[in-house]
Amino acid sequence: MTAAAGFLGGAKSRLLPASIPFRFFAAAALFHVAMWVVLIFAAEQVIGFRGGMVPALAAVHLLVLGVLTTTAIGAAVQLLPVATRHALAAHWPIKLVFWMFVPGIVLLTASMYLGRIELVIAGAVASTAGLLLFAGLLGDNLRRAGGLPIVAAYGWAALAALLAVILLGLALSVDFATGFLRDHAAVVRAHAILGGYGFMGMLALGFSHVLIPMFALSSAPEKRPATAGFLAAAAGVALGSFGAVLGHPHLLTAATLVGLVAVGIHLWLMLRALRTGMRKRLGLSFILVRAAWVSLPLSLLIGLAASHDRAGPNGPALFGLLLLGGWLLTFLLGVLQRILPFLASMHATAPERRAPPRLSELGATAPLNVHAICHGTALAGLAGAILFDASAAARVAGTIGLLGAMAFALFTADVIRRLPLASHASPLPSGG
């Protein structure tokens, strides 16, 4: 059984009610819009951001928790049970995750923006509670994912990174009030590596082993190189995290080199899947995916340069942009625009003498074109603004990014609006 085989083989019985995953996707789309709004208002700090309780911190957490993690939760709770062929025991814990995590992010990021330290801790506690419950659900499903060893390995590594990132995040939020940490900046760096490359990065790499072959119609990546890629990725994250906490530049260099090996293996496997896949015309979504693949090794190289103070005064901000915006956000949006209509189609029931809806009937494509242009322009503009320390340019780039995020939110809303169409399919075509 291939990794994606479960999508149809009894998959409908393992599909959650559409309202459950789509509430996470809808929330992520709104956080995406909010992130660009905050970025516009905090443009001066964003271009030179190195951490600290400033409004730019709210933009970073709206992106990482609001967009990336919220989407990852929605996707993981839906895709994993289908792919592993093991349904979740109950739906209420996922709803509870949503109602703890999403309001927690709102409180956390609003208080970060306003600089209200006591509320930051409350928001961190609420979102942490949601994340811990999600970690339990993820762990329970991974335990039964024996048929997907590589995906499961990435999943376990992501879970371990999630627990570490939660711990460090809580410590950082308390440290804002008490100052108990000896080196706040070092913990911030470890928190960023564990969150970006550890939790979200490992999930993205792991799910790629299912999703990219599924889209390209190719075989699953070979086990040996995939295992080597996983081991290198996990070692890179571990080395990087320890190197950051200990403030050890040689460890960070070693982590980057090991990380580059992992990225090299991963990209080789993914490009091989595309080259050998039946589908050659993969459309707009894969322009975003390919751009993300370029950003991933670039982020490591800029990170390495920044750790040795060779990336200019705004090097850390450029590193953050490439890691979070260029790699993770771009990859996620590329994949999400294919998953949303596909997931909607899985909820389709075809009554007698009715044709199942086409994917293009389940989501408008025009907003995606607008989004792709705006997203690429905004990230390129932000990179330029960071390099030249130009806050006005960052504001313009942010406005373009905001338009793109609104277009993507429109697309998400359109898929949700058309969900009933999926269960009231159109009459059979006559062909004439």
Partner 1 sequence: MFANRISQKLHEEHSATVAIMERLEALIASYRRGPPAGNRDAEVLLLREIADGVESEVKRHFDFEEQHLFTFLDTIGDAAIGAHLTAEHTAMRPLGERLAALARTGSSAGFDEASWSEFQRVGMDLAERMLTHVQKEEMALLPLLEDAMDAPMEARLYDAYAANA
Secondary structure of the chain in HEC code, one letter for each residue: CCCCHHHCCCHHHHCCCCHHHHHHHHHHHHHHHHHHHHHHHCHHHHCCCCCCCCHHHHHHHHHHHHHHHHHHHHHHHHHHHHHHCCCCCCCHHHHHHHHHHHHHHHHHHHHHHHCCHHHHHHHHHHHHHHHHHHHHHHHHHHCCCCCCHHHHHHHHHHHHHHHHHHHHHHHHHHHHHHCCCCCHHHHHHHHHHHHHHHHHHHHHHHHHHHHHHHHHCCCCCCHHHHHHHHHHHHHHHHHHHHHHHHCCHHHHHHHHHHHHHHHHHHHHHHHHHHHHCCCCCCHHHHHHHHHHHHHHHHHHHHHHHHHCCCCCCCHHHHHHHHHHHHHHHHHHHHHHHHHHHHHHHHCCCCCCCECCCCHHHHCCCHHHHHHHHHHHHHHHHHHHHHHCCCHHHHHHHHHHHHHHHHHHHHHHHHHHHHHHHHHCCCECCCCC
| Minimum distance from residue 256 beta carbon to partner 1 (Å) | 36
Stretch 334-353 residues interacting with partner 1 (CB under 8 A)? 345, 350
Under the binding rule (CB under 8 A), the answer on residue 2 touching partner 1 is yes
Q: Considering the complex, state which of residue 225 and residue 356 has its C-beta at the smaller distance from partner 1.
A: 356
Under the binding rule (CB under 8 A), the answer on residue 146 touching partner 1 is no
Q: Which DSSP symbol is given to 68?
A: I
| Minimum distance from residue 291 beta carbon to partner 1 (Å) | 22
The contact mask relative to partner 1 for 289-328 (x = CB under 8 A, - = no) is: ----------------------------------------
What are the backbone dihedrals phi and psi of residue 27, each rounded to the nearest 5 degrees, phi first?
Answer: -60, -40
| Minimum distance from residue 76 beta carbon to partner 1 (Å) | 19
Under the binding rule (CB under 8 A), the answer on residue 214 touching partner 1 is yes
Let me know the angle formed at the C-alpha of 206 by 324 and 358, rounded to the nearest 5 degrees. 90
| Minimum distance from residue 270 beta carbon to partner 1 (Å) | 17
Using CB under 8 A, pick the residue from 8, 89, 90, 246 that binds partner 1: 8
Under the binding rule (CB under 8 A), the answer on residue 365 touching partner 1 is no
Single out the segment in contact with partner 1 by CB under 8 A; choices: 121-129, 262-270, 296-304, 354-362.
Answer: 354-362
Using CB under 8 A, pick the residue from 358, 380, 388, 417 that binds partner 1: 358
| Measured distance CA(94)–CA(275) in Å, rounded | 38
Under the binding rule (CB under 8 A), the answer on residue 5 touching partner 1 is yes
Q: Considering the complex, state which of residue 224 and residue 280 has its C-beta at the smaller distance from partner 1.
A: 280
The contact mask relative to partner 1 for 257-296 (x = CB under 8 A, - = no) is: ---------------------xxxx---------------
Using CB under 8 A, pick the residue from 359, 370, 387, 410 that binds partner 1: 359
Under the binding rule (CB under 8 A), the answer on residue 11 touching partner 1 is yes
Single out the segment in contact with partner 1 by CB under 8 A; choices: 86-94, 182-190, 258-266, 422-430.
Answer: 422-430
Using CB under 8 A, pick the residue from 167, 271, 355, 380 that binds partner 1: 355
Q: Considering the complex, state which of residue 182 and residue 280 has its C-beta at the smaller distance from partner 1.
A: 280
| Minimum distance from residue 266 beta carbon to partner 1 (Å) | 21
Single out the segment in contact with partner 1 by CB under 8 A; choices: 1-9, 128-136, 295-303, 328-336.
Answer: 1-9
| Minimum distance from residue 18 beta carbon to partner 1 (Å) | 17
- Quickly list H helices, 115-148: 117-142
Stretch 378-407 residues interacting with partner 1 (CB under 8 A)? none
Total residue count of the chain as it appears in this document: 432
Q: Considering the complex, state which of residue 262 and residue 422 has its C-beta at the smaller distance from partner 1.
A: 422
What residues make contact with partner 1 under the rule CB under 8 A? Answer: 1-2, 4-12, 214, 217, 219, 278-281, 345, 350, 355-356, 358-360, 428-432
